[in-house]
Amino acid sequence: MTIAMIGATGLVGGWLWPLLERRGALLVLGRRPSGAAREKLGPMEEWPALLKGERIDVGISTLGSTRKSAGSWAAFEAVDRHAVVAFAKACRKAGARQFLLVSSSGADFGSRNDYLRLKGEVEQAVTALGFERVDVLRPGLLLGERAERRTAEGLAQAAAPLLNLLLRGGLERYAAIEAETVARAMAALAGRPGTGLFVHHNREIRALA
């Protein structure tokens, strides 16, 4: 199984790429080194070209930013929409039958919230590319240590244990979850048989991990 991945230096990706190297031949695309045995580096705009000549079975994106860290909505959209969809297209062109994507709890192309609407639209765009199987993971707030400081996210992580006690039943999908757990679920899903769109919320993610 040959796997191509973007987002390997992020919160989920940092946990995921070592797990994937045990599953198959992994190629990481990124802007800076991740530590993976095989990677190709360059600007996001060049990532699709870096896949030319490769034969891919599974494409994986754990790439994600925030409007604040990106600096503007346009810069955020360049990462979370354009880079992800362009990579997915390149994976499909390289023969990938499966694509895995980290999205967000509450993602909905019809949402009034710009962030959640964008996430939902990206899910739609990836699903429309013709993969045999698409796995969308919609975790709640991701818990873990990032290389970059996100003040608001840090405060939310600190409050997560108390909030998780309140988020039960149908609200469980919005609870905080460890990034390592999401990574282990994605590693378990890579290469799975079956066709169609599979959406995984916190409960399913924990079961897979």
**Which residues form the catalytic set?**
115, 119
Tokens of 162: 């108390």
30: which strand partners? 41
Separation of alpha carbons 126 and 34, rounded Å = 25
- CA nearest 30: which of 52, 11, 13, 55? 13
Instruction: Determine how many CB atoms are found less than 10 A away from the CB of residue 209.
Output: 16
* Relative orientation angle of helices 179-189 and 11-21, to the nearest 10 degrees: 40
| Cα 171 from Cα 152, distance rounded (Å) | 21
Q: How far is CA 185 from CA 76, 113, 196, in A?
A: 26, 27, 18
